[in-house]
Amino acid sequence: MKQILMEDYNVIVIGAGHAGCEAGLAAARMGEKTLMLSINLEAVAMMACNPSIGGTGKGHLVREIDALGGEMGINIDKTFIQSKMLNTAKGPAVHSLRAQADKVRYHEEMKKTIEKEKNLDLKQGEVIDLIVEEGQVRGVLLNTGAAYRAKAVIIATGTFLRGKIFIGEWSFFSGPNGLSASIELADNLKKHGIKLRRFKTGTPARILGSSLDYSKMKEQAGDEKIVPFSFMNDELECEQVSCWLTYTNNKTHQIIRDNFHRSALFGGQIEGIGPRYCPSIEDKVNRFSEKERHQTFIEPEGRSTDEMYIQGMSSSLPEDVQEAFYKTIPGLENAKISRPAYAIEYDCIDPFDLKINLESRQIKNLFCAGQFNGSSGYEEAAAQGLLAGINACLSINGKNPFVLDRSEAYIGVLIDDLVTKGTNEPYRIMTSRAEYRLVLRQDNADLRLTKRGHSLGLVNMERFAKFSTKTEQVEKEMKRLAETIVFPNQALRFMEKNVSTPLQNKISLADLLKRPEITYDKLADIDKDQPKISSHAKTQIEVQIKYEGYINKQIKQIERFKKLEGKIISQELDYSKIEGLRIEASQKLNQFKPLSLGQASRISGVSPADINVLLIYMERERRRGK
């Protein structure tokens, strides 16, 4: 094909999903001339599956993206229709914000933000090949023959790369929501030495809300007090829309069992590996045969549509079977399906082929993000997109990569897990994956990361000023609470009102706040000097004081972790020449080239004994001056 040379850019992003949006905005905001290419502009920030942002673990990622200057938190605050804080009965480490989105408005607002961004061009076009010269990416080629040159390229293709949809015995190549798949690019990536593998995911049917009987379901309302995702918003108001809870039953399960042979999942047509934590309904019925019912949430997709998302009911069964089993669920007896459920499989890379900065090990200045890296979910994609955009800019300017370790952010856990441990299924973040989750809370993401985002040029002065004000408020108020003393006779009525054990001795307001039944806002009844501070600052103060002992214990654990992370390993080291290392360990270490002893310790196949051998070797070389 004859190439038509077009405009030059510094960074090009392939894809405009949640990863592509954050990557493109980050690169542009860091001052680089950036081009975002999407196979269809309707795919910009498209919610092809669940119309929500956040959730357990995922809410932490959104807060961290926001703290670094990303867009996802701001965009969902503009477009949510219901907000709920999850896990409030548990400790603050696992509190996770989740919001239902108006999916059309979410797409429209993100597209508008991108179109207005200085240094950023958004264009519709199908990339079919990379331009690679002497082991370094130099641009992209479109199916029209248009060639755009660049210093760095970011692949964020989501589920479009050789996407194939399955509905029963019927299958066809397609991206999500009926958009075109990217076929030729997959073939050409292989020619460039990039090894691809096959993953799968799925989505449930969409049903018209007007055809449902809500009297047979349990209403799931949003929280009365809305907590924003973005640290830029102290308060939000919204007329919220309810979700609804219902359950499958034995009739549902029997119809599914009778048609296992017609499922693409069990029929052998699907070769891709799906996520264990988010199985299709036929997979649930098969794997958990002892369960009499499975819960399903009916979730509105927006204010301007009657379509409802049937969470927990993804399927690759034929349409006639879908019609039958959905109608056995209470409230769905007369359900009208507007879009059938389907499974979709797609090409992605093995994240073992990525460096910790999300750069390809095969091609210099080629960065990868999102589902292309083997992850699952809008939030995981956006987090990787943000880091890929940052590191692409740093790389082309000869600067050190921006890396968040496991003690600094859930983003660090996500990326470290992918590139160090790998994944055999679409990877999903969970609070249980984070060893230091009491320190990595969603409420303190700005305290952990905003200064770092500011140093990168992603956090503007307005945000940094707001952050500085909050920091000052927290420090001053915690000092005041520790120094303000309350005497037993002053607190008698207060303790009775809050059903708290009466005071025997004088106590500071800070120690009083440590009681589980006392909140910062309740203290106002006895604390007449309580200042007016932001809701974010109040949460921060309350958590830090109530969990001070546990937090200090975890900080000591992090200090031990940092010692191993601080032992930097040369990228030129040949592990096969180190005596005492097992063959498997030396092969894995030579393949991955860990940056530190800490990262080496997390590589599958590297044992504690191997780490001790490395420690001895490094100390011996240090003494020899090497």
The per-residue DSSP string of 569-617 comes to --TT--GGGSTT--HHHHHHHHHH--SBHHHHHTSTT--HHHHHHHHHH
Percent of residues, the chain, with pLDDT higher than 70: 100
Sorted by sequence, the CB contacts under 8 Å of residue 144 that are 6+ apart come out as 4, 125
Structure confidence by residue, pLDDT tens digits, 179-231? 999 999 999 999 999 999 999 999 999 999 999 999 999 999 999 999 999 99
Say if 473 falls within a structural domain.
Answer: no
Both tokens of 583, joined, read 């063959």
Do 293 and 424 sit in the same domain of this protein?
no
Sorted by sequence, the CB contacts under 8 Å of residue 32 that are 6+ apart come out as 10, 11, 119, 392, 393, 396
Say if 469 falls within a structural domain.
Answer: no
88-97, 133-142, 249-258: which range is least confident on average? 88-97
119-133, 259-273, 572-586: which range is least confident on average? 259-273
CATH assignment at residue 403: 3.50.50.60
Say if 293 falls within a structural domain.
Answer: yes
Exposure of 318 in the CB half-sphere (CA atoms within 13 A): 11
Do 160 and 15 sit in the same domain of this protein?
yes
- Interatomic CA distance for residues 49 and 35, integer angstroms: 26
Q: Which of 290, 313, 345 is the last residue of a domain?
A: 345
Whether 604 has a pLDDT exceeding 90, the answer reads no
Q: What is the pTM of this model?
A: 0.94
What is the pLDDT averaged over residues 309-325? 96
Q: Is the dihedral of CA 460, 124, 383, 572 positive or negative?
A: negative
Q: Which residue type does 305 have?
A: T
Give 475-523 as a DSSP string: HHHHHHHHH-EE-GGGSHHHHHHTT-PPPSS-EEHHHHHTSTT--TTGG
Say if 294 falls within a structural domain.
Answer: yes
Do 58 and 173 sit in the same domain of this protein?
yes
- Interatomic CA distance for residues 495 and 502, integer angstroms: 6
Count of domains observed in the chain: 4
Is the distance from CB of 427 to CB of 375 less than 8 angstroms? yes
Do 281 and 374 sit in the same domain of this protein?
no
Q: Is 335 strand, coil or helix? A: coil
CATH assignment at residue 612: 1.10.150.570
Whether 93 has a pLDDT exceeding 90, the answer reads no
Residue 515 belongs to what domain range?
Answer: 483-556
DSSP state of 377: S
Is the distance from CB of 206 to CB of 354 less than 8 angstroms? no
Do 179 and 226 sit in the same domain of this protein?
no
Type and span of the H or E element at 36: strand 34-38
CATH assignment at residue 273: 2.40.30.260
The residue among 314, 44, 370, 362 whose CA lies nearest residue 166 is 314
What's phi and psi for 625, nearest 5 deg?
A: 85, 20
Do 153 and 23 sit in the same domain of this protein?
yes
Average pLDDT, the chain: 94
Torsion of CA 103, 104, 108, 111, to 10 degrees: 60
Rg (the chain; Cα; Å): 26
Structure confidence by residue, pLDDT tens digits, 438-476? 999 999 999 999 999 999 999 999 999 999 999 999 999
Say if 474 falls within a structural domain.
Answer: no
Both tokens of 355, joined, read 């460096």
Q: Which of 294, 313, 345 is the last residue of a domain?
A: 345
Structure confidence by residue, pLDDT tens digits, 155-181? 999 999 999 999 999 999 999 999 999
Q: Which ranges in 276-433 belong to alpha helices (H)? A: 281-287, 319-326, 378-396, 410-416
Say if 100 falls within a structural domain.
Answer: yes
Q: Which of 313, 345, 377 is the last residue of a domain?
A: 345
What is the pLDDT averaged over residues 527-539? 92
- Interatomic CA distance for residues 404 and 426, integer angstroms: 22
Do 245 and 321 sit in the same domain of this protein?
yes
| Residue 245 pLDDT | 98
| Residue 340 pLDDT | 97
Structure confidence by residue, pLDDT tens digits, 384-438? 999 999 999 999 999 999 999 999 999 999 999 999 999 999 999 999 999 999 9
Q: Is the dihedral of CA 422, 22, 361, 586 positive or negative?
A: negative
CATH assignment at residue 518: 1.10.10.1800
What is the pLDDT averaged over residues 95-112? 97
Type and span of the H or E element at 220: strand 218-220
41-45, 318-322, 533-537, 622-626: which range is least confident on average? 622-626
Do 597 and 544 sit in the same domain of this protein?
no
Is the distance from CB of 458 to CB of 449 less than 8 angstroms? no
Q: How many residues does the chain have?
A: 626
Both tokens of 450, joined, read 């905003």
Whether 267 has a pLDDT exceeding 80, the answer reads no
The residue among 436, 440, 405, 408 whose CA lies nearest residue 419 is 405
Say if 471 falls within a structural domain.
Answer: no
Q: Locate the DSSP E strands across 71-158.
A: 80-86, 96-101, 120-124, 127-133, 136-142, 146-149, 152-155
How does strand 146-149 pair with strand 136-142? antiparallel
Sorted by sequence, the CB contacts under 8 Å of residue 489 that are 6+ apart come out as none
Is the distance from CB of 571 to CB of 585 less than 8 angstroms? no
Do 297 and 394 sit in the same domain of this protein?
no
Is the distance from CB of 160 to CB of 179 less than 8 angstroms? yes
Do 100 and 174 sit in the same domain of this protein?
yes
Do 328 and 384 sit in the same domain of this protein?
no
Say if 249 falls within a structural domain.
Answer: yes
Do 69 and 180 sit in the same domain of this protein?
yes
**Higher pLDDT residue, 259 or 604?**
259
How many C-beta atoms surround the C-beta of residue 519 within 10 A?
14
Q: How far from chain centre, in Å, is Cα 401?
A: 20
| Residue 626 pLDDT | 66
